[in-house]
Structure 1
């Protein structure tokens, strides 16, 4: 057997100091590769960790970690008082399953042998594309996320002993520390007066809407929405068996006088509303209409489902507070998303409501989502407690405000009087109404040929409206200018 020191380890173990892969893993991977290629035959004695560290010019602890990993994978073994040796690892190759139908009588069925209700309401409205430039309805730019800082929070939480104990707790539902910190955050930022008994956390705002719909709506209940409304919430209401009616909107939000006429004629179970920045038009419900809306809810007994999807993105110094902050009759169910400026894995949905409804929602949520993401809840809790979430939002808000202003200037430059828009006081999207005839579906197809994708869900066209809701938050200034130039060129080809 060759002396372990005489083997030219440097010839097949190359360390890349610029690689993002840890050095010990680089050594581990190249060692296992050398063993499989028989550069290091079975029974080869390896140098000690000190000698190997000298040969490869790395720290001894790095070699120790690499050898431990190789031993766990079954490539080497340590024999007391003898040394470290290469062992033979038997690789289990999976047998290829023959799928020739002529050789087998059994085939997996194409359809079920039983009937079930199939809903066309749940068809996925989202499209896929390979275009470089993509419009959406207003999402953050996750390139701005401070991934290293978020990763450090997550790694620190993973190493804490009390987190490990919660993983083994089969009855664990929610992190009380997270709920307390989130309650404090909502009370301070939104003028609420709640405690943890008024809060439920979910995976997303869409999950919140679905849960609320399943509990509060029955078949043939009437739900009022704005004449232009959020399509996924409408899908949830219809899936619960509700009947949807529409309420006109204008520059002050939904027409509450029209809503009152509806209430006088028929029973209304729920009103779904986005009063802060109405989806999709971005207008804010006026103060007078807010007061009257709460009065109507108390008088006629309908639920107000308030979706505050973009509250964290306001550019005025004094944002309008949610309806639920002044609801004294328990008629408002408030939903939203915490951490929307963060990557999707670091966000959470929430529901704020009176205690009896939250208790019922919790029972349903526990049934379908019993195991929570303990580590992520702890990370979010600490982001609030340490004030990091405020720093994130303050920094990002300045960037988004600058992008909003640039986007609006570019709209004026490219389109002039061809379209009408109002600079939104918050949110990440602009509502654009065309003043000249434009076939939006044809515009979509022409733009796509120029590498710009416009989803159908952003297009609003009927006898009285030709409009688009276009998000600017996920685009930098260069991308904004290029995308709008494609729209301008595409219109000339209509």
Structure 2
């Protein structure tokens, strides 16, 4: 056993305290069976001398192990490995037991729909998926509002537990804001504040879908939504999108053949193509929902950014039968880092999904929610949106002009009426993923092919880049396409 203890390794330069290094290594020896139950450990003086450390360090380590139940102390006899530990067949001793575990000792499933790469945007230039320019976000106003919430008022209330549905102030402000801007007819009881569209979608899938239910999405569509439906065990059926949005005739035919539980739609600016769902199709979709009893999940991810005329009113504004679950967030309005979104639905749906949210995430960020409420109440977000709309329209026009001038032989697109990205079709001879890798080496990110079902297409975001950055980005693409 003395030979065993000679394998103890202490690194006095390490960030981990010496006593904790000793504690962890002794615990590891016991767990592997190298130190058996009842074994008498050296005295604190002996071990301190052997390891060339202070005796008080060994005492502290022993005290920790005694408190945790790994050791027992008998007055006058010494310190022993606890006698009540089970007999463990000796295993290989790992002196360095601080290495993080890489592979679990149990099996886990890793379905294909969860294998989605995370974009690396820490590079100079980016034609992204359609993100806002966070450099113009009202961060000073937000920080002042957040600081106010952090420092003023009753600390028991402002720093304690709150309403799972979201703060009352924010739900009141959201009700007013959404009624005014989107033609909704709601009260705070119709709102559940969530951390973003993904959370709202996941709650809806978990709470309103059963394994085997049929969910309809668009083709092409958003893989983030599809992943949630598949994770819920739903059967996914995709319906084509044309220049007028989702093919409602195809949906009608499907509903006559089988029961559909939910239809996911991005009606204002379809993701990824950016086309708007035409008025007659909106009316037909709501009528089909009432007739066949399916839920409409309306993801209105970038409602505020429509350039040619006023934004189209969401389906939820004309829903008299309580069939629409409407979802939006401040990710595109302010910044993706501001994790505040909202679900809007009938009161009983909100009450149910709030109870489900409570067992997943007790509540949101009360301070942030109230800070956003203050910005809405003071009109700061509304002013920011007006400024953003003008700026993004200008960038859209510049970007589309640049592409027409420099990429017209390689790329086809329509100028989007709204949104923060262009849906671009590259020549069939171009390997988009290879092009994306070459661009990355030049300091330009874009995501390559949107997905395997839309070969040759991708989204090129313009909103997050300045005119100069857009010029440089298009120049890089033009040079790569001309001299591959």
TM-score by length of 1: 0.76
For the 8 Å contact 1:139–1:428, the answer to whether it is kept is yes
User: How many residues are aligned here?
Assistant: 400
Give runs of aligned pairs for residues 168-317 of structure 1, distance below 5 A: 169-170=160-161, 172-173=163-164, 174-317=166-309
- Select 1:459's aligned residue among 445, 450, 466: 450
Whether the 8 Å contact between 2:410 and 2:481 is mirrored in structure 1 is no
Could you tell which deviates more after superposition, 109-118 or 300-309? Answer: 109-118
Tell me the residue number matched to 2:463: 473
| Correspondence 1:64-213 to 2 at 5 A | 94-95=17-18, 97=21, 104=95, 111-128=103-120, 131-162=123-154, 164-167=155-158, 169-170=160-161, 172-173=163-164, 174-213=166-205
Q: Distance in 2 between matches of 1:124 and 1:212?
A: 21
Task: Please tell me whether the aligned partners of residues 425 and 456 of structure 2 are also in contact (alpha carbons under 8 angstroms).
Answer: yes
Map Cα deviations across residues 12-57 of structure 1 (whole Å, 9 max, x no partner): xxxxxxxxxxxxxxxxxxxxxxxxxxxxxxxxxxxxxxxxxxxxxx
The offset of 1:346, in angstroms, is: 3.6
Q: Unaligned stretches of 5+ in structure 1?
A: 1-91
Unmatched runs of 5 consecutive residues or more in structure 2? 1-14, 26-91
Q: 1:428-443, aligned counterparts within 5 Å?
A: 428-435=420-427, 437-443=429-435
The Cα of 1:435 is off from its aligned counterpart by 4.6
TM superposition shift of 1:170? 3.5
1:26-37 matches, cutoff 5 A: none
In structure 1, distance between residues paired with 2:418 and 2:16:
57
Evaluate the alpha carbon distance shift between residue 412 and residue 109 of structure 1 in structure 2; reply closer, same or farther with a 3 A threshold.
Answer: closer
Offset at 1:102?
5.4
Distance 1:449 1:299, change over 3 A: same
Which whole-Å deviations, capped at 9, do the CAs of 1:384-423 have from their partners, x for residues lacking one? 1111111111112111111011011101111225432121
What CA RMSD, in Å, does the superposition of the two structures yield over aligned residues?
A: 2.4
After TM superposition, give the deviation of residue 171 of structure 1 in Å.
5.2
CA contact 1:224–1:245 (8 Å) conserved in 2: yes
Judge conservation of contact 1:313–1:426 (CA < 8 Å) in 2.
Answer: yes
Deviation at 1:445, TM superposition (A): 2.2
SS at match of 2:408: helix
> Partner of 1:284: helix, strand, or coil?
coil
Separation in 2, partners of 1:365, 1:459: 31
In the other structure, the counterpart of 1:376 is 368
Say which SS state the counterpart of residue 353 (structure 2) adopts.
helix
Partner residue, 1:410:
402
Contact 1:461 1:467 in 2 (8 A): no
- Contact 1:166 1:374 survives alignment (8 Å): no
* Contact kept? 2:167, 2:369, Cα under 8 Å: yes
Question: Secondary structure of 1:416's partner?
Answer: coil
CA distance in 2, matches of 1:459, 1:110: 31
Q: Distance in 2 between matches of 1:481 and 1:369?
A: 43
1:491 is aligned to 2:481: yes
Q: How big is the shift at 1:112?
A: 4.1
- Looking at structure 2, the residues matched to 109 and 418 of structure 1 have their Cα atoms a distance apart, in angstroms, of 48
Offset at residue 127 of structure 1 (A):
3.5
Q: 1:367 — aligned with what?
A: 359
> 1:130, CA displacement in angstroms?
5.4
Deviates more, 1:432-441 or 1:360-369: 432-441
Q: Give how far 1:338 is off.
A: 3.2
Distance 2:409 2:94 in 1: 70
Aligned to 1:16: none
Q: Find the aligned partners of 2:113 and 2:152 in 1 and give their Cα distance.
A: 45
Assess, with a 3 A threshold, how the Cα gap between structure 1 residues 368 and 290 changes in structure 2: closer, same or farther.
Answer: same
Cα distance change on mapping 1:217 and 1:488 into 2, 3 Å: same
In structure 1, the residue corresponding to 2:21 is in which secondary structure? coil
Partner residue in 1 for 2:49: none
Structure 2 CA distance for aligned equivalents of residues 294 and 158 of structure 1 = 44
Shift of 1:274: 0.4
CA drift at 1:374: 1.7
Q: Is the 8 A contact 1:460 1:466 kept in 2?
A: no
Cα drift, residue 103 of structure 1: 6.5
